[in-house]
Structures are given as structure tokens and as C-alpha cells.
Amino acid sequence: MQERIVITGMGIISAIGNTVEENYNALLSGQSGIGDLTLFDSIHQESIKVGQVKKSTEELIAELGLSSDNNYTRTALLGAHAAKEAIANAGIQDINDRKTGLISSTSVGGMDYTEKFFYDFETSQASRKYIDTQGAGDSTEKIADCLGLHGLVTTISTACSSAANAIILGARLLKAGKLDRVIVGGTDALSKFTVNGFNTLMILTDGYNTPFDQNRKGLNLGEAAAYLVLEHEAIAIADGRTILGVVSGYANANDAYHQTASSENGEGAFLAMQKALEMAKMSPNNVDYVNAHGTATPNNDLSEGRAMQRIFTDHMPAFSSTKPFTGHTLAAAGAIEAVYSLLAMQYGVVFPNKNFVTPMEELAIRPQTSLLHKEINSVLSNSFGFGGNCSTVIFSKF
């Protein structure tokens, strides 16, 4: 039997909490993090709601102990905060005592600061330290520096499937023997650029997002970061780690249908789930919970719903989208939902798909709308993005 890739640590910061514990408590109590946009001024402030992290940029800088001349963007700060929790949770003392890598992901990168200082760069010397921070890789570099990590460091950006893909690459690098352990995840701060981008696509709701509901009107954007520590099973055991779960299957496929829309029958999503199940050597009947991508856009939920019906036929397990809690956290979403999937297994609980009222006409399946306690041995988590990018990761109990 091939050696397993196990998860030994996790860290998260999102609209519903600054730690894993706070996130779990909010999921249990049904406390959503969606509210008013106050991070920056925008003409859309009155018409949209977002999932903001309840820590200011200044607080994050202070907690990380950065000097006043630092040039960390909010994306980098959120990422460093969550990655540090993951390392501490795993009990890693010296990050370089094993061959360790970092695979992060982001969609917005440092755009939050570029948009703030765009007109100042020309005239203000002080703002220029943020010129180099626009690139997506900058946030990863900062996180690696914060952790003191020297080694294989890279960044993935495949829109809203990015963090799931970071988990996939991390597992691949471990299997190939390139690394002993790897920190994987994603980070995205809210920015005016993203708010306006999604607004032009007309997929932002003016209320609270309602995944898989007939009358869904679109998504709420959110900001967040989450990271997992992945290790070889043998190394994790040798180092005396607590094992939180196993990465038992994963796959990425392309819908090849449209740059921003998913196909009606969800072919890409279907292929991703099918291939991930194949790798995990699991029948769909063995999946106990599906943490759906469920963005609450008309297009995603129909496409994903149809794909799930094709995979699970008439044995659909409990499923929910947790985006009513956090908003759609874009490149971080796959990692946020990986943490929630692991919590679901650990505590035997399916988190509710909040805000659901009316079943979709096109679908026979219904999301789980209340907290459900049951034994969960495996969770399938979906993440889809622009460019037809479809990813599925399956987590199982150790």
C-alpha cells in the first residue's frame, strides 16, 4: 500500500473567526460573518455585503511583530497569520528541520495596496515600497519569510479553485519525494478591484448569499486565509504529530466550456469528482459529506448540482456550502473549506447550508440546512474557478 499523505496542522482566519477554534464555534452556533463593507470606501458599500476579517491591517501587523517600514499587503498578513497557526497547531518547532515547502495561492495578490497607492507612487517616495508587492508571488514570499522557511516555495493562481490546487500540488510533491512536509493553502484580502470586477460580472447579491436556492442572486465576497500542514505518514508518526486526516484523493479537470461560466451539465466538475474518487479508490456511497463549492450564483449551483447528481445518482450524501458563513473567499476558499471538512470529520458534524429556502427546480437534491451530528469518515470538497478550472479533494479519517 502506498504511503499516505496526512494532515498534521491547520490554521485559518476568516470572517467568522481568527483561529480554527473561533471558526468552529461560529459554524456550530450558526453565526455568519457577512456584513457591511468597511475596509475601504466604495460606491457599492450600500448595495453589497461582504465577509470581512474582524482584524484591522494594523492589528495584524502588530501581532506579527513587523517593523513599521514593512511592506506586507493585507493578503500577505492574513496568509502569515493563518500559516503561523497551522505550524503551531502541528507542533513544529523548527520549520527547516525537515525538507519543507510552501505552496500558497492567491487571486488578488497585492492589488489591495496597488489600488490604494496607484496615484501616489509617482510623487510619494514612501509609498513606493508597495510597487513590488502587486505580484501574486509577493504574498507567498512574505509568508515564507515570516515562517523562516527556505526551500521549495511557489504560488498557484487558478481563480477560485486555487487553494484546492495548492493542496493537490503539495500532495504530489510529497509523493514524489521532493519534500518531507509542505504548508499548503491560500490567502485573499478584499479589494476594490475584486469587488468591482465581480460587480461587472453581475454575480454579486445585494443580500446574503443563498446557495442551491431557487431564488439565489449571487455571491458575497469574503476575505480569508487558511493553511494545512501535509506530511508523509511515516514522518508525521516519527515526529509524534497528531494526525487530523488523510488526503485520500484529488483531481483537477477543465470544463473547456467558457472563460467565466460553467457548462450546464457540469462536465468539468463531474470529471474532477470522478477522478478524485478513483484515486481514493472509493465508491460515491462512501462519501459521508460533500462540502460544495456552492457560490450561490445561478450558474455555479446549477452546474455543480447537476454534476453531483451525476456522480452520486440517488445516493446523495449530506451536502452544504459554507459560503453563507464566510462569503466566497476566492483563492483561499479551497483551504478554508478543507479546514471545515477536517472539522466535520473530527467532530462528526455537518455544517448547515444557511439561507436556503426554496429548492431549485432543476435539482432533486437538497442541501443540509441544519446542524447534523453523524459519523463522518470522508468528506469530498469541491472548488471551481474561472478558466473552467474544476478541482476536488477528498479527505478521510486516519
Catalytic residue at 258? no
DSSP states of 90-144 as a string?
HT-S-TTSS-EEEEEE-SSTTHHHHHHHTTTTTT-GGGGGGGGG-SHHHHHHHHH
Q: Which of 276, 261, 223, 244 is nearest to 60 (CA)?
A: 223
DSSP states of 225-264 as a string?
EEEEEEEEHHHHHHTTPPP-EEEEEEEEEE--S-SS---T
The whole-angstrom separation of Cα 215 and Cα 79 is 34
Residue 40 interacts with another protein (CB under 8 A): yes or no: no
- Provide the pairing of β-strand 34-35 with 181-188: unpaired
Of the candidates 59, 63, 274, 386, which one interacts with another protein according to CB under 8 A? 386
Residues between 234 and 263 that touch another protein (CB under 8 A): 252-260
Catalytic residue at 232? no
Nearer to another protein, 20 or 219 (CB): 219
Radius of gyration of the chain (CA): 20
Residue 375 Cβ vs another protein, minimum distance, rounded to whole Å:
32
The whole-angstrom separation of Cα 249 and Cα 198 is 31
Nearer to another protein, 45 or 369 (CB): 45
Cβ burial, residue 136 (10 Å; 0-12/13-18/19+): buried
Residues between 104 and 133 that touch another protein (CB under 8 A): 106-107, 109, 111, 114-115, 118-119, 121-122, 128, 131-132
Q: Which of 81, 146, 232, 293 is catalytic?
A: 293
Dihedral angle computed from the Cα positions of residues 129, 130, 136 and 137, in that order, rounded to the nearest 10 degrees? 10
Catalytic residue at 390? no
Nearer to another protein, 132 or 362 (CB): 132
Cell of 360: 431549485
Dihedral angle computed from the Cα positions of residues 98, 103, 104 and 109, in that order, rounded to the nearest 10 degrees? 120
Nearer to another protein, 141 or 239 (CB): 141
Residue 390 Cβ vs another protein, minimum distance, rounded to whole Å:
9
Q: Which of 81, 146, 232, 328 is catalytic?
A: 328
Residue 389 Cβ vs another protein, minimum distance, rounded to whole Å:
6
Of the candidates 6, 23, 50, 138, which one interacts with another protein according to CB under 8 A? 138
Of the candidates 54, 95, 135, 348, which one interacts with another protein according to CB under 8 A? 135
Dihedral angle computed from the Cα positions of residues 295, 298, 304 and 306, in that order, rounded to the nearest 10 degrees? 160
Residues between 142 and 201 that touch another protein (CB under 8 A): 144, 149-159, 165, 169, 172-173, 175-176, 178, 192-193, 196-197, 199-201
Q: Which of 235, 229, 202 is nearest to 217 (CA)?
A: 202
Q: Which of 160, 232, 258, 315 is catalytic?
A: 160
The answer to whether 265 touches 259, Cβ cutoff 8 Å, is no
Residue 357 Cβ vs another protein, minimum distance, rounded to whole Å:
29
Residues labelled as active-site residues: 160, 293, 328
Contact residues toward another protein (CB under 8 A) are 42-44, 102, 106-107, 109, 111, 114-115, 118-119, 121-122, 128, 131-132, 134-138, 140-141, 144, 149-159, 165, 169, 172-173, 175-176, 178, 192-193, 196-197, 199-201, 252-260, 267-268, 271, 385-389
